[in-house]
Amino acid sequence: MRLTEGLSHLRGAALKMGQMLSMDTGLVLPDELTAILARMRDDARHMPPKQLQAVLNTEWGTGWRAGFARFDVRPFAAASIGQVHRAVLHDGRDLAIKVQYPGVRDSIDSDVDNMATLLRLPGILPRDMDVAPLLAEAKRQLHAEADYRAEAGHLSRFRAMLEGSDMFVLPEVQSDQCTPQVLAMTYLDSAPLDSLIDAPQVMRDRVAAALIDLTLRELFVFGAMQTDPNLANYRFDPATGRIVLLDFGAVHAIAPRIVADFRALARAALDGEGAQTRQAMLRIGYFAHDTAPHHQELIQSMFEVAMGPVRQQAPFDFGSSELLDRLRTMGMAIGNDRDLGHVPPAATLFLHRKIGGMYLMAARLRARVALRPMVEAYCDESTRATVGDGE
């Protein structure tokens, strides 16, 4: 297949875009494409040591090794646009150093354009679907993610907003070692979130609730959301019981108007007000005024199914629910309608990427979480600032 062949040669920013799409932005893609993108998400290659040294010579100068008591050349983590090394300064500070692969920033526009060409092959997307705004937003986000100084700023901002949290801990930026292609921060010893799979139910519930609550705070309080829900970005510190938050490259500012629209949607949906729910969905962009009525009804029915766990007062059992399969089936039915050309705004799609990722996280942990009280707490603007830490 031409699509498979084309994707097999993509790297760098195109690989990152494949990760973005495979984490489910809300576009319902064919199964074959979803499988290919999932493989792309898991495909990360290390820089050879000589290439790493050349990059750091450029960023830090040729004498950079003298500044460290130890620098591990072999990375302990790697992703689509960079890899992470452990290092120790002479004063004993233990650091994690994220180094960007060379050429990533320069290839973003061409890589996304190449991906766009592949997505336009017959049979991949509905014939009238205009993905140009999404691709433009993907370029913008990828350029932002490739600026490690900007990520350092996001990390520092979230660290300040979560200061004093009993549930979360974030690395501290080491500004004197940061450049646009190198991000230096304190190393935090932690375990993968998957290490909690066999933990006591109460602990799994607590962690899932905290991460869901954090997503709500990002939307309704912070006005900024880290939109990459990859589980590798969330780790656990067994010594303190806190969640370690990593990777703040994909941070999106959320306009006050969008916050207000989502708050109105949450209120209407919790109360089962169908007409108000549809109006809020229209304002947010789930569908447009000229979207065919039966398409609007299909999209709203899918939303109503997704709201089922949020409407109930009792804890929702993510581990035993078949909701995700039901939504996937409904989504495929919508996506297979070749006459549906509407694409929601990019901001909405990436927000849903985070929400979907939180569902997958809670399902992975087999958590039981009462969602309605959490959402209700953020529907009232007068109480929103006092909510937090998922407790």
In a domain, 195, yes or no: yes
In this structure, are 275 and 346 located in the same domain? Answer: yes
Position 284 in a domain: yes
Q: Strand, helix or coil at 60?
A: helix
Least confident of 7-16, 62-71, 111-120: 7-16
Q: In sequence order, what are the residues at sequence separation of 6 or more whose Cβ sits closer than 8 angstroms to the Cβ of residue 386?
A: none
Q: Which of 17-21, 106-110, 205-209 is predicted with the least confidence, judged by mean pLDDT? A: 17-21
More confident residue, 114 or 384: 114
Contact 136, 89 (CB under 8 A): no
Interval 202-217 mean pLDDT: 97
Residue 103: pLDDT band with limits 50, 70, 90:
confident
Q: Report yes or no: 248 and 226 within 8 Å, Cβ to Cβ.
A: yes
Residue 340 lies in a domain: yes
**Average pLDDT over the chain, rounded to whole?**
84
pLDDT of residue 121: 65
Q: Give the per-residue pLDDT at 57.
A: 97
Residue 258 has pLDDT above 90, yes or no: yes
Name which of 37-51, 68-82, 273-287, 302-316 the model is least confident about.
37-51
Answer yes or no: do 368 and 219 share one domain.
yes
3-state SS class at 339: coil
Query: Do 127 and 248 belong to one domain?
Result: no
pLDDT confidence tier of residue 298, bands split at 50, 70 and 90:
confident
Which residue range is the domain that position 125 belongs to?
A: 2-45+107-143
Q: Which of 27-31, 163-167, 275-279, 373-377 is predicted with the least confidence, judged by mean pLDDT?
A: 27-31
Clarify whether residues 267 and 329 are in a common domain. yes
Does residue 184 form part of some domain? no
Active-site position among 111, 205, 228, 247? 228
**Averaged pLDDT, 279-303:** 88
Q: Are residues 139 and 271 in the same domain?
A: no
CA–CA dist 114, 153 (Å, integer): 31
- pTM of the complete model: 0.86
Do 129 and 249 share a domain, yes or no?
A: no
> Could you report the per-residue pLDDT of 339-361, keeping only the tens digit for each?
666 677 878 888 888 888 899 89
127 and 218 inside one domain? no
Over 50: is that where the pLDDT of 208 sits? yes
232 pLDDT band, cuts 50/70/90, is confident
Per the CB < 8 A criterion, the answer to whether 83 and 76 are in contact is: no
67 domain-assigned: no
Highest mean pLDDT among 71-80, 333-342, 381-390: 71-80
Q: Are residues 195 and 121 in the same domain?
A: no
Residue at 62 is within a domain = no
- Residue 228 a catalytic site member: yes
Q: Which of 122, 143, 164 is the last residue of a domain?
A: 143
Residues 237 and 303 in one domain: yes
Work out the average pLDDT over 24-53: 65
Of 256, 295, 296, nearest in space to 277 by CA: 296
Q: How many CB atoms lie within 10 A of CB 259?
A: 18
Alpha-carbon distance of 19 to 111, in angstroms, equals 13
Domain count, the chain: 2
Packing angle, helices 346-364 and 323-335, rounded to 10: 150
- 245/391 same-domain check: yes
Please check whether residues 137 and 277 belong to one and the same domain. Answer: no
- Domain identity same for 120 and 235: no
Does residue 157 form part of some domain? no
Residue 167: inside a domain, yes or no? no
pLDDT on residue 25? 44
**What pLDDT is attached to residue 27?**
47
Q: Which of 121, 143, 165 lies at the terminal end of a domain, its last residue?
A: 143
